[in-house]
């Protein structure tokens, strides 16, 4: 589940980027997998979602949001659930390594 405590407050300046998103108006099922979707079907859907993300002017903001709140589902900012988890894991390992060498 997403960590909502990490979300910014209700200031619209934090959310305005969403108004410019290429995915606005696109069926959300492109970005979120149905129960049990695996293999080629999942890969194809994620690739299609990433195509939308690659032409998005706010892709970086979207990816940063998903990483900050640890969004558990869907393609956000061109990153799948697994890709975000890998990035967060690398960051955790890097911080642990840095703390261990201090």
The tens digit of pLDDT for each residue in 42-85 reads 999 999 999 999 999 999 999 999 999 899 999 999 999 999 99
Structure confidence at residue 34 (pLDDT): 95
Structure confidence at residue 90 (pLDDT): 79
72 is in an annotated binding site: no
23 is in an annotated binding site: yes
51 is in an annotated binding site: no
56 is in an annotated binding site: yes
The residues, ordered by sequence, that sit 6+ positions from 60 with a Cβ below 8 Å of its Cβ are: 77
23-62: burial string, b at 16+ Cβ within 10 Å, e else? beeeeeebbebeeeeeeeeeeebbeebbebbeebebbebb
For the chain, what is the mean pLDDT? 88
For the whole model, what pTM was predicted? 0.78
> Which pLDDT band, with edges at 50, 70 and 90, does 95 fall under?
low
Structure confidence at residue 60 (pLDDT): 97
Q: Which residue is associated with the tokens 């799948």?
A: 80
């Amino acid at each position: 589940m997403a960590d909502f405590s990490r979300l910014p407050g209700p200031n619209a300046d934090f959310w305005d980027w969403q108004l410019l998103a290429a995915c606005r108006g696109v069926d959300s099922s492109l970005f979120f997998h149905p129960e049990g979707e695996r293999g080629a079907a999942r890969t194809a859907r994620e690739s299609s979602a990433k195509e939308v993300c690659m032409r998005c002017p706010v892709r970086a903001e979207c990816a940063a949001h998903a990483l900050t709140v640890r969004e558990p589902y869907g393609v956000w900012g061109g990153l799948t659930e697994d890709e975000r988890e890998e990035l967060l894991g690398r960051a955790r390992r890097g911080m642990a390594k840095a703390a261990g060498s201090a």
